[in-house]
Structure formats: C-alpha cells, structure tokens
Chains A and B, each alone.
Chain A
Amino acid sequence: MQIPYTVELRSDTGLFNAKLGVWLFLASEVMLFGALFSSYVLLRVGAEHWPHGWEELNIPLATLNTVVLISSSVTMVMSWASLKLNNFKKYKMYMGLTILCALIFLVVKAFEYGHKFEIGHLPGTSTFLAIYFTLTGLHGLHVIGGIILNGYLWGPGSKMWQSAPDRFTNRVEVAGLYWHFVDLVWIFLFPVLYLL
C-alpha cells in the first residue's frame, strides 16, 4: 500500500500529511518541556536559596554552544533550500555541517558535564543542579535524536532523492521543523539556566 499525501496536499488540511504530523508531535513536545519549565519556576520560587547561573555554570561554553546550535539551524534550512534549488551536492554539504554542529554541541556539553562531575556537582547535590541536569539532559537526548534522524537523511535515506525527489525534500523539511524546535528549546534554556 502506498502512503497517501507524502507530496500532494490534502484538500481539507492544505498540507502534506507529514507536516501536520510533525507539528502535532512538536505540540506534545512543547507540553513536555513546558511541564519541566513550570517545575523549574515552582522549585525556584519555593527555594530559600537559589544560585545565579553564572556562579554554578560555564557561560562562555554555553554561549559557544548557543552559537553552534543557531548555526546548525541555518545550515539545516539551507540544506532544504538546496534541494529546492535542485542542488543535491550542496544539500549533502549543508546537512553534513548540521550534523557536525550537533556533534560539536554534544562534545562541548560533555566537557561541561565532565567538569561538574569532577568537582562533585551531581544531580543530587542541589535542587538547582537537579533541574539543570534534567532539562539539559532531556535536551541533549533530543540533540542525539536529531543526529540519528539527520544522519539517516544524509546517508542511506538520501537515496530517495533519485526515486522521489519531492517526497525526499518534504522529509528534509519536516526533519528541519524538529531540528529548529531543538534549537528553540535551547534558546530558552540558555538564559533561564545560565544567565538568571
């Protein structure tokens, strides 16, 4: 059986199915992270003492990671635009750069975590560190998920460009929606955890 509406638009929604599906998924993701942000507010307001982010965390490294993740969002959207312009070579380059940026993000994060563990700052040390590790850990899992997804679309999955180019372009577009969401979450995590 053929999957319907991978390219042509459904007349009632005006969308191809994957786009609506991914947006609904992202809506559920907003609630997942929203619940944790809400918990953060509750914990912080209820705490007798709450450290400033800059006392506990490494702001230069986090700023670097912010730049890395924003750059990866740009290369992601450029990879989609390259497919729209029929330039598969450029797609490969931009998608490769997106994955590279995601890996750099994880390496920097690993250094941050490693340093925390070295000085004995574990999730159980304080409420601040508990919510810090929960939020950044969940976000990190999303980055890993994005690397797997984008890695597939860069490697074996890119064969679809030969057989069904429009369908493949749509796949890259919705993978982009997910990846930009991961960037969006970090845009809020960074000031909330590090700068306040």
Chain B
Amino acid sequence: MSEAHAEDIKKHVRTYIMVFVALLALTVVTVAISTLHLSTFAAVTVALIIAVIKGSLVASYFMHLISEKKLIYAVLVLTVVFFVGLMFLPVGAFSDKITMP
C-alpha cells in the first residue's frame, strides 16, 4: 500500500471521530429539546431537522456518499423521489372526502 494512500485513510479516520462527536452532541441536543415539551408543530420541525442533519452525516461520511460514483447518486435520487411520494400518501388519503362519514 502506498504512503499517500495510507495518509488518506488516516485523514478519513480523523473525520470519522469528528462526525462521531457531532452525532453524540446532536443526540444530546434533540433529547434536551424534547424535555421542553414545545408545541407539536415546533417539536416535529426541530426533531426532524436534527434527525436529517444526523442522517446526512452518517450517509455522507460513514457511507462515503460525499465522494461516490454518479450511478449511486442516480439510484438515490430515484429513491428519494419515491420516498417523498410515499410520505405524501397520507395527505392524499385525508383530502379524499368521499371516505369521510
């Protein structure tokens, strides 16, 4: 294994440790905020923003998405489109007045 390559990996390792600390800190923050018992809308918004940040950190650094091939991004874009579609299904269900008694 070449020297430059090993140096690269060591740099990665330092990043992993920083991401780890960030994930722990964000976990503490989200639990602390939940004890404030905010209104449902505010609580959901804050909790989801923190979860998205944590999820992005895991996907970007641990799953190496920050430097991945185009095809993987293409697969994920398609996945996100369908995922968003799934999340909007309940909206469709509730706007369907025919099923309301």
A-side residues, CB < 8 A to B, are: 13-15, 19-20, 23-24, 27, 30-31, 34-35, 37-38, 41-42, 45-46, 52, 54, 59, 63, 66-67, 70-71, 73-74, 76-78, 81, 84-86, 176-177, 180-181, 183-184, 187-188, 190-192, 194-196
Q: How far is it, in angstroms, between the C-alpha of A13 and the C-alpha of B58 when the chains are bound?
A: 24
Query: Given known contacts A84-B9, A85-B9, A188-B55, is B71 in contact with A14 (CB within 8 Å)?
Result: yes
- 19 CB contacts below 8 A, A to B, read A20-B71, A30-B79, A30-B83, A31-B86, A34-B87, A37-B86, A38-B90, A42-B89, A45-B90, A46-B94, A63-B27, A70-B24, A84-B6, A86-B1, A180-B63, A191-B34, A191-B48, A191-B51, A196-B44
Question: Closest approach, in angstroms, between the C-beta of B61 and any C-beta of chain A?
Answer: 8
10 tightest A-B contacts by CB?
Answer: A195-B34, A191-B47, A42-B90, A27-B79, A14-B69, A34-B86, A180-B62, A41-B90, A74-B20, A38-B86
Which of A14, A66, A177, A190 is in CB contact (< 8 Å) with B63? A177
Tell me the dominant secondary structure on chain B's binding face: helix
Question: Which of chain A's residues have a CB closer than 8 A to the CB of B62?
Answer: 73-74, 76-77, 176, 180, 183
A-B contact count (CB 8 A): 124
B: number of interface residues (CB 8 Å): 48
Interface residues of B (CB under 8 A from A): 1, 5-6, 9-10, 12-13, 16-17, 19-20, 23-24, 27, 30-31, 34, 37, 40, 43-44, 47-48, 50-51, 54-55, 58-59, 61-63, 69-72, 75-76, 78-79, 82-83, 86-87, 89-90, 93-94
Instruction: Report the bound CA distance from A194 to B30 in whole Å.
Output: 11
In the bound complex, how far is the Cα of B75 from the Cα of A71, in angstroms? Answer: 28
19 more CB-based (< 8 A) A-B contacts, given A187-B55, A187-B58: A23-B72, A23-B76, A30-B79, A31-B82, A31-B83, A34-B87, A37-B86, A45-B94, A46-B94, A52-B37, A70-B20, A74-B16, A176-B63, A183-B62, A188-B51, A191-B47, A192-B51, A195-B43, A196-B47
